[in-house]
Amino acid sequence: MSQQSDTLSTARPYLLSAPALLLYVGVFMIPLIMTFMLSFYTFDITRGGILSGFSLENYTEVLSDSYFHKIFLRTFVLSILVTVFCVLLGTPEAYILHNMSSRWKSICMLAILGPLLVSVVVRTLGWAILIGSDGLINNTLMALGLIDEPIKLMFTMTGLVIALVHVLIPFMVLSVWAALQKLDPMVESAGQSLGASSFTVLRKIVLPQIMPGVLSGSLIVFALTASAFATPSILGGRRLKVVATTAYDEYLGTLNWPLGAAIAVLLLLANILIITSYNKFIERKYAQAFK
Amino acid sequence: MSFLHLEGLTKHFGDFVAVEEVNLTVEKGEFISLLGPSGCGKTTTLQMIAGFVNPTKGKIFIDNQDITELKPSKRNLGIVFQSYALFHHMTIHDNVAFGLEMRNINKAECQERVIETLSLVHLEDFAHRFPRELSGGQQQRVALARALVINPEVLLLDEPLSALDAKIREDMQIELRSIQRRLGTTTILVTHDQSEAMAMSDRIAVMNNGRLAQVDRPHRAYEHPGDNFVSNFLGKSNTFKGQVKDVSDGTARINASGVDFLARNDLFEPGTTVNVSVRPEKIQFCEPGKGQIDGSISTRIFLGNQWVFQVDSDIGEFVVVGQNTGREVVEEGHKVGLNWSEREVRVLPMENQA
Domain ranges, ordered by start, for chain B: 4-232, 236-349
CA end-to-end distance (rounded Å), chain B = 38
Please name the residue ranges forming H helices in B52-193.
92-102, 107-120, 136-148, 166-183
The answer to whether B89 faces chain A, any CB pair under 8 Å, is yes
ipTM over cut 0.95: no
A179 part of a folded domain: yes
How many domains in chain A?
1
For chains A and B, count residue pairs whose Cβ atoms are closer than 8 Å.
72
Residue in A194, A201, A285 to test binding to B, most B beta-carbons within 10 Å: A194
A203 part of a folded domain: yes
The answer to whether B259 faces chain A, any CB pair under 8 Å, is no
> What is the rounded distance in angstroms from the CA atom of residue B338 to the CA atom of residue B317?
12
Q: Is B340 helix (H, G, I), strand (E, B) or coil?
A: coil
Please name the residue ranges forming H helices in B211-280.
218-223, 228-233
A31 part of a folded domain: no
CB A267 within 8 A of CB A79: no
Of the candidates A187, A200, A204, which has its C-beta nearest B85's C-beta?
A: A187
> What is the rounded distance in angstroms from the CA atom of residue B148 to the CA atom of residue B169?
19
Residue in A99, A193, A201 to test binding to B, most B beta-carbons within 10 Å: A193
pTM over 0.90: no
- Lowest model confidence (mean pLDDT) among A4-13, A201-210, B234-243: A4-13
One-letter amino acid of A134: D
> What is the rounded distance in angstroms from the CA atom of residue A216 to the CA atom of residue A93?
16
Contact criterion met (CB < 8 Å) for A196 and B77: no
CB interface of B with A, residues 126-165, below 8 Å: 130, 132, 146-147, 150
A35 part of a folded domain: no
CATH code for the domain in which residue A104 is found:
1.10.3720.10
Chain A closest-CA separation from residue B11 CA (Å): 19
Q: Is B115 exposed, middle or buried (0-12, 13-18, 19+ CB in 10 A)?
A: middle
Q: What is the pLDDT along chain B (354 residues), one digit of tens a residue?
A: 589 999 999 999 999 999 999 999 999 999 999 999 988 999 999 999 999 999 999 999 999 999 999 999 999 999 999 999 999 999 999 999 999 999 999 999 999 999 999 999 999 999 999 999 999 889 999 999 999 999 999 999 999 888 888 888 888 899 999 999 999 999 999 999 988 999 899 999 999 999 999 999 999 999 888 888 998 898 888 888 888 888 887 788 888 887 788 888 777 878 788 888 899 999 988 888 888 888 889 998 998 888 999 998 888 889 999 888 877 778 888 888 888 888 888 888 876 543
Contact criterion met (CB < 8 Å) for B83 and A186: yes
Assess if CATH 3.40.605.10 describes domain B236-349. Answer: no
> What is the rounded distance in angstroms from the CA atom of residue B150 to the CA atom of residue A194?
8
Q: CATH fold of B4-232, please?
A: Rossmann fold (3.40.50)
What is the domain range of residue A138? 65-290
Kindly list the residues from chain B whose CB atom is less than 8 angstroms away from the CB atom of residue A197.
Answer: 73
pLDDT at A140 over 50: yes
Of the candidates A187, A189, A286, which has its C-beta nearest B87's C-beta?
A: A187
Query: How much is the mean pLDDT over chain A?
Result: 90
Contact criterion met (CB < 8 Å) for A193 and B50: yes
Contact criterion met (CB < 8 Å) for A193 and B88: no
